[in-house]
Structures are given as structure tokens and as C-alpha cells.
Amino acid sequence: MIDAALQDRRVVVCAGAGGVGKTTVSAALGLALAQRGHRVVVVTIDPARRLASALGLEDLGDEPHRIADEAAGPGELWALQLDAKATFDRLVARHAPDPEAAERIYANRIYQHLSGAVAGSQEYMAVERLNELTEDGRFDRIVLDTPPAQNALDFLEAPERITRFIEGRGLRLLMRGPSEGPGRLGWKVLHVGTTTVLSVLERLTGAQLLRDIGDFLRDFEGMYGGFSERAESVRQLLRSDEAAFVVVAAPLDAPVQEAVALAERLREDGLPLAAVVLNRMRPAPPDGPVDVPALAALLTAAGAADGGDLATRAAAQLEEDRRLAAADRRARDLLVEGAGVDHVVEVRELEEEPVEVAGLARVARELVPA
């Protein structure tokens, strides 16, 4: 049972292919945990704003928003959408040596680009936000909704990539400046052969590019160590017994294959795979032959204009439903074998997409039966 697998897990990370209902499952898991008395925050780092829609909200911001609904039961359900720049700004405010340094960093063009547009900043700030929330005394459970499978675990690698960059030899030389011992060589190398390029860039952008880089590195000096420490803290948390990864799939070839690949990668990386959820499973109709003539007679007696045609089409639809349900069961068996798990948690396909808390409550009951 998934509730047993998630017991005492402080952080639950949901990952899976796009379009399988991963955000809905994340929100429903959060609701199920709240119903059991926990104070839960559901966090999405997926740039798509599906979490707000699933909760029946027009929008979500970077600050936790409480979902006031009786369905949350004795606990509390909160939600937020990661804002990478807002998280980066808070990081600077906390760790800059003084308010003046923080203001200089905010105004720096390099920082503005790095915090708002550079590839990897979204994933790195997801780690920072997770670190903030684990230190926030308001929540005892965090459910993390990740981007689609091909990017699902990028946030785990982002701190290491950024740490390698900020600890790199070239950057350390630049940080020493143009007149500080051995760093003069690095500064000289930067000048040699690039002056023309930089002057062209400065004319095109209207910015003193080299000065902006130097100011950014100087103002950030002393803050780099904290990057590595916080990233390592989150990395250790996600490898511990306090974390659980839930892989979400749908009974289709591509999502099943991506789920299997995710499960394999989690094991390779030493991350705790707690459960695999197979969403939108079609129920199997009863077995047995259909007596079309008898059904046609009943339909005609009930007033159907063409009971025979209606009975024939109903029998054909029943056979199609059986075929689709059998295909879903085969996908389930492939997923169990490929992911190396004893079973998967099945969520039945609902008649309509679950939205708002009432719809999520139906999914929560599928995930964690009362």
C-alpha cells in the first residue's frame, strides 16, 4: 500500500512522463496526507501551471497558499509554484554580506540574466526552495511535482553543475581580479584576444560587459560555499529514509518505458523508489458472451427504435472495452517487471478530468483507500 510506503517520509518526489496525470497524482497524494493529519505543501517545479488548475485556482505564486477545503480533513493542504527568480532573490537577501551588497547584485545585469533566463537556474532554485521548505517549521510533509520525465531529475544534477562552475579554476582566477597576484594571468588572458569581441558586445548591448562580470563575481564572493553546502544537504535528504520517490505512468507504451527508465535511474543514483503509480487504468468489464438477440428483444420492448442495431453496437463496444482493459493489464505487467517492483498502485480512469479538491479527493481514495 502506498500509505505504508510513504509513512514517515518527509519529502515525496513525483516523477513521470508528460501527460500521465503526474501533477494530479501529486496533488491527490498531498490531499491524502493532509486527510491523515499532516501539514502538507505541494510544490511544482514544472513551468506549466497545471497544479493551480488541478486545485481549482486561477494561479499560484511562490509563497505557500493554503487550500481551505473541508476535504483536507484534520490536516492542512498548501501549494506553491516555484518562482526561480524570487527564490534566487531570497537567497541573495539571506547570504549577502550586507543590504548594500544585495542591492548591487540585484541591479547587476549578469545576475538579472542568471536569475531569470539561464538554463539550469530553474532546477537549481528548485533545490534551494526545497531546502527552504525543509527548514520551514510550518510543514511536516513536502510533495514535489517535477517536470516531464526527460527533465524530471535535472534538479538533482543542477547543484553539482553549478558547483563545478563556481569552483572551476577559470572562475577562481577571474574572482581574484586584475591586480591580485596569480589572478593577473587569468585577467590578462581574458583581455588578450577578446578585446575586440567585448567591444563589439558592449556596442551592441550598451553594457560594459566585462565590468558587469567582474562586479557580479566580486559581490558574490563569500556566498559560493553555501551553494555547495545546501545542495549537499538536499542531496543527502533525498537519499535518506526521510525521502520517497513515486514514479507515475499511464498504461501506454511510451509512458511505461519512461517509467521503467526512471526507476532504473533512481536505483543507480541511490534514490529511494517507494512506489509506482499506474494512472488512468480502464476497468475490465465482466467476462462472458453477450446474447445479442435477447438484448435486442429487451431493448425493443423498452421502446428502442432499432433494438437489434443497438444491441449489436453495444456488444461491439463491450468487446472493445474488454480489449482496452486487457491492454492496460499487459502494460501493468510490463511495468511491474521492468521497474522491478512487486506491484503498482492502480488509479482507475475517471469519467472526467479531476479538478478542484472534490475531484482530487476521488483520486486520493484510489491512491490511499480508507
Same domain? For 260 and 321 the reply is no
pLDDT tens-place string over residues 31-84: 999 999 999 999 998 777 788 888 888 889 889 999 987 888 899 999 999 888
pLDDT at 305: 87
Same domain assignment for residues 133 and 243: yes
Total number of domains constituting the chain: 2
Cell of 132: 527552504
**Same domain for 207 and 88:** yes
Task: Tell me which residue range forms the domain holding 312.
Answer: 292-325
DSSP track, 64-83: -EE---GGGTTSEEEEEE--
320/189 same-domain check: no
- Identify whether residues 317 and 169 lie together within a single domain: no
pLDDT (tens digit per residue) in 225-284: 677 788 788 888 999 999 999 999 999 999 999 999 999 999 998 999 999 999 999 998
Q: Give residue 267's pLDDT.
A: 92
Report DSSP state, residue 180. S
**To the nearest 10°, the Cα dihedral for 38, 54, 263, 271?**
-40
| 154 shares its domain with 301 | no
Check whether residue 98 and residue 195 sit in a common domain: yes
Residues 320 and 338 in one domain: no
15 near 247, Cβ under 8 Å? yes
What whole-number distance in Å separates Cα of residue 47 and Cα of residue 62? Answer: 12
- pLDDT recorded at residue 200: 54
Averaged pLDDT of the chain: 82
Q: Residue 210 maps to which CATH number?
A: 3.40.50.300
Q: Verify that 231 and 299 share a domain, yes or no.
A: no
Task: Tell me the HSE value of 182 on the side-chain side, using a 13 A CA sphere.
Answer: 5
Same domain, 298 and 333: no
Q: What is the DSSP letter of 284?
A: P
Tell me the three cell numbers of residue 114: 542568471
Residue 178 has pLDDT above 70, yes or no: no
> Tens digits of per-residue pLDDT, 136-156?
889 999 999 988 866 677 777
Which amino acid type is present at position 43?
Answer: V
Do 157 and 304 fall into the same domain? no
Q: Is the pLDDT of residue 17 over 70?
A: yes
Judge if 308 and 243 occupy the same domain. no
Give me the percent of the chain exceeding a pLDDT of 90: 42
Which residue bears the cell 581574484? 176
Say if residue 134 is exposed, middle or buried (CB neighbours under 10 Å; 0-12, 13-18, 19+). Answer: middle
Of 15-19, 106-110, 249-253, 323-327, where does mean pLDDT reach its minimum?
Answer: 106-110
Interatomic CA distance for residues 232 and 169, integer angstroms: 21
The sheet carrying 39-44 orders its strands as 65-66, 76-81, 39-44, 141-148, 11-16, 243-249, 273-281, 345-348
